[in-house]
Amino acid sequence: MSVLHLVRHGQASFGSDDYDNLSHKGIEQSIELGKALAKNKSIFDHVIVGPHRRHIQTFEGIKKGYNFMKLPEPVIDKNFAENQLMEIAEHFIPEILNTSKTTKQIFEDCAPKERHDKFLKLFQLVAKKWMNEELDLSKKNFEGFSMFRKRIADVLRFIQANLSNKSNIMVVSSGGSISGVYAEVIECTQEDIMKLNFGIKNVSISEFEMTTERFTLQAFNSSLIPKELETFI
């Protein structure tokens, strides 16, 4: 039996020019998770890290805090890339609002305290259209929802076929990918998947027992860091 430990990345730099970069708090969260894993004497015999900078930075933070023993060298796997909803939202928000302004300009016109809630509302609207395959993604060659689901299903089958000899596998990825894994294991609606995506805490851990036949959920969205450090971005 193997266990997949899916870790969501630390807090990213929401609202900055480069979202794919951990904030100072995101770095702190990652280090604290590493310390918690060491305190619990958690041992991993294989590590997979998604391809984004925030994934790699999160693993580096975990490694810095984890002084229990040496972690395996990570395998960078592009199949654990996040879905493209952030880029899709940035592209389609002006179209939905019927404006020639860019998404960045739209939110720069808002009061700073209003930006997060307004973006989240519009992001959820785009996400629903994406999941229902209602957007024309061809011009930008964006990945559709069905293609994203297939990518996650395929990488899970690969892990089953090739890593069943590993006991504890750490996977550092993003909320969308973790929600995608959940949806492959537990039958749920598209609305459920979207709610899961928005509710996954930074550096939380979701655990799935794996055999060559099936995955079984053991724990979802468990946080090991101090409550005052918990975030969702």
- Would you list the domain boundaries of the chain? 2-83+145-227, 85-131
The predicted pLDDT at position 119 comes to: 84
pLDDT given at position 18: 66
**Topology at the third CATH level for domain 2-83+145-227:** Rossmann fold (3.40.50)
Token pair belonging to 147? 């293609």
Query: In angstroms, rounded to a whole number, what is the distance separating the alpha carbons of residues 10 and 62?
Result: 10
pLDDT (tens, 9 = 90+) of the chain, 233 residues, equals: 899 999 999 999 765 566 789 999 999 999 999 999 999 999 999 999 999 999 999 999 999 999 888 999 999 999 999 999 989 999 999 999 999 988 888 888 888 888 878 888 898 899 999 999 999 999 999 999 999 999 999 999 999 999 999 999 999 999 999 999 999 999 888 888 888 888 999 999 999 999 999 999 999 999 999 999 999 87
Q: Angle 53-65/24-39 helices, nearest 10 degrees?
A: 40
Strands ordered across the beta sheet of 205-210:
75-76, 46-49, 168-173, 2-8, 205-210, 215-222
Counting Cβ atoms within 10 Å, is residue 146 exposed (0-12), middle (13-18) or buried (19+)?
exposed
Other CB atoms within 10 Å distance of the CB of residue 85: 23
What is the pLDDT, as a whole number, of residue 16? 58
Q: What is the pTM of this model?
A: 0.92
